[in-house]
Amino acid sequence: MFFKSFTDYLLLEKNYSALTVKAYQNDLDVFSAFIISEYQESSINQVNYAQIRTWIVSLVDSGMSNRSINRKVSALNTYYKFLLKTETIETNPLIKHKALKTSKKIQIPFSETEVALVLDPSNFEDGFEGIRNKLIIELFYSTGIRRIELIELKMVSFNLHNKTLKVLGKRNKERIIPLLESVISTLHVYLKAREKLEHITDSDYLFLTQKGVKIYETLVYRIINDYFSKASTKVKKSPHILRHSFATHLLNQGADLNAVKELLGHSSLAATQVYTHNSIAELKKVHVNAHPRSKK
């Protein structure tokens, strides 16, 4: 099937992660099912924009957010660009498509006080899960890694001699992140607790459940949400907000934007600049409090 050539292209040439490729595949499968159902077309390779537009309208009517719809259409557009590249089609039916308007989401980071409250040792229960959860939160906050990057960490990802962590990010791009002494200390405690698990199935992976299998996305989200619910009244409490807090707090303390970009694994500076609105607010506060003419 032609989808297979496309997914190989995404994996091998575009260097997309397996998770992203799976999402693209799902989007193509959903669109393909729609085209078969509505138009009795056996292939999506020769559809026109009017047919795609009908699909988009159906997604809007289903209550799906414009942001999610744009992501699906983007996957479809990437597929048609691939067909053009391989000379399978002559024109891209999405060539003149304009993305649906989306509202700009303002991500509100946790405060330094909230993070400190969560990381109080008294918040973590004794035993394997408490130690593991503490390490997860410390790693998110001290390295800014993404949820999927944390889940995919291996036992060999850490270099304790150099005090660094090797992370495999988007498009299989590796980056090295320095580790704080406090994180290394918690890691040693966790590894000792991990050794005592009765059954370990996914031995290569760092973070496991009590049953010895690799942790999963909903569990990681639940851990962050549960612990931060004790210290924060913010509506959204997720691994991404903790990543956002990492970047914001570094910038508030005067970190170089390019350095934060490298730590986060962003491919462009523009992606990192979304985190600067909070640091600008902090700079304004410092400026007003410190400038000799601010009191006049």
Question: Could you read off the pLDDT tens digit of each residue along the chain, which spans 296 residues?
Answer: 457 889 989 988 888 888 888 899 999 999 999 999 999 988 899 899 999 999 999 999 998 889 899 999 999 999 999 999 999 999 999 999 999 988 766 678 899 999 999 999 999 999 999 999 999 999 999 999 999 999 999 999 999 899 999 998 887 788 999 999 999 999 999 999 999 999 999 999 999 999 999 999 999 999 999 999 989 888 788 999 999 899 889 888 888 888 888 888 887 777 677 666 555 555 455 445 654 555 55
Q: What is the model's pLDDT at position 94?
A: 95
Round to whole Å and give the CA distance between 158 and 288. 43
155 and 206 in contact (C-beta within 8 Å)?
yes
Q: What is the model's pLDDT at position 256?
A: 84
30 and 58 in contact (C-beta within 8 Å)?
no
Round to whole Å and give the CA distance between 121 and 239. 20
Round to whole Å and give the CA distance between 116 and 120. 6
Q: What is the model's pLDDT at position 146?
A: 92
**pTM (2 decimals)?**
0.67
Q: CA angle, 212 as apex, 208 and 216 as ends, to 5°? A: 40
Q: What is the model's pLDDT at position 278?
A: 54
Instruction: Say which CATH superfamily domain 112-288 falls into.
Output: Intergrase catalytic core (1.10.443.10)
Round to whole Å and give the CA distance between 140 and 142. 6
Q: CA angle, 266 as apex, 261 and 267 as ends, to 5°? A: 115
**Catalytic residue ranges:** 146, 170, 240, 243, 266, 275
Q: What is the model's pLDDT at position 268?
A: 75
Q: What is the model's pLDDT at position 291?
A: 45
